[in-house]
Amino acid sequence: MANMDHHIAPMYIKTAKPAVPYDYRAPSPPPIFIPSTGWGAPIKVLPRYDNIDPASLSARDLAIITQNGTEQIAHDATYQWTYESRRVAQPILDYLYLGPSTVVRDRQWLQEKGITMILAVRDLRQASLNLMAFDELARELGIESQYVDASGDHELIHLFPAAVRMINDHMLRVYRDQAVQTFGDVKVDESDEVMVIDEARFRRGRVLVFCETGNDRSAGIVSAYLMAVLGMTAVQAMQFINRKRFCVCMREDLKRALTTHEDILVAQRTVHRHELLGSSSSRQSEEGSVAVAVAVAGKKRTKRGIDDTMDDDGDDGMTGIDIHQSSDRDRFLGRADMTPFVDA
């Protein structure tokens, strides 16, 4: 049989040739499309505890960080955007700023905006060379400095939870440091459900997240924060940030890291909420879902064609997008039949 294969291969090569040039590298994953949100209309997000992982924050902590669920609005900034705007920082949330590293050297700006923590997102090589280190400046201004060091986008995804915790812990610490005080003869303990704040002197925490350009890894960290604390999807977070800082244009690897992180957050939120419920109704619902899954798995499945993925109304059965707007459908429109090999 080996001799037969030896004689057949040369004959095959002589009698047929590829119809088109072949590329032998691994195929690239499809790009992640970020659709426009309609210019002029603001994007409004209302923080809700139902949208986040209950194991990451309590309802009270979320209320403290977001000031009792203050609505976050992203107006269309493209009309006022200039090239010089990329050199300054923009408020993504009312307590979270995104910008380039040059902003950190502006002491006056840091003090005017009331920045209480700077979070640098660095390449590991920058960290080893002590680049983008602002500890001395932070001590001078009496603010906190933190660092997130990653060798690439593939590693950054593992650091998303730690970066989100840094920001949230700082916001809670700033609040509680001012809340745990003696008011007259009343001592307010940190563990009390009700903390007393002197509104006249209260200083809310504000965080500046930055990298060299403010358009790269720092934007990825801020996107991950919006997903974890406000319950946004990866696409929604990128749309929201782009409204605030128009020059942000993330690489495909970073987009894929964020979409993977979204799947992780959804899974964690589902599992932890199920654990908290622990009721008989939730168990019955789970048993019903398992029974349905077993029944579906028991059926013989055949490979679907592209037409089988569409409903009768022409959408893909998932998003309700018209057939001519579906990015997946576009891959097949106008595609001609292709014969991979022809006679030599």
Q: Which domains does the chain have, with CATH numbers?
A: 43-277 (3.90.190.10)
Neighbouring C-beta atoms of residue 268, cutoff 10 Å: 17
pLDDT of res. 324 = 43
pLDDT digits (tens, 9 = 90+) for 27-63: 778 888 888 776 678 889 999 999 999 999 999 999 9
Rounded Cα gap, residues 48 and 43, in angstroms: 16
Distance, in Å, from the CA atom of 199 to the CA atom of 113, rounded to the nearest integer, reads 18
Q: Give the residue ranges of the chain where pLDDT is below 70.
A: 1-14, 38-39, 180-196, 279-334
Residue 310 has what pLDDT?
58
Per-residue pLDDT, 100: 95
Nearest to 126 by CA among 159, 148, 103: 148
Q: Which amino acid is at 247?
A: C
Question: Alpha-carbon torsion 257, 262, 263, 265, what sign?
Answer: positive
Q: What is the pTM of this model?
A: 0.73
Residue 111, SS3 per DSSP: helix
Phi, psi for 273 (deg, rounded to 5): -70, -35
CA 126/CA 215 separation, integer angstroms? 17
Which residue has 């194991």 as its token pair? 55
DSSP per-residue letters across 146-165: EEEEESSHHHHHHHHHHHHH
In this prediction, residue 340 carries a pLDDT of 80
pLDDT in tens, 306-324: 566 555 554 444 444 444 4
Q: pLDDT by residue (tens digit) across 64-96?
A: 999 888 899 998 877 889 999 999 999 999 999
Strand ranges inside the chain, DSSP E: 16-18, 43-45, 72-74, 90-93, 96-100, 117-123, 144-150, 182-183, 186-187, 207-211, 341-343
Tokens 């309700």 belong to residue: 320
Distance between CA atoms of 33 and 252, rounded to whole angstroms? 10
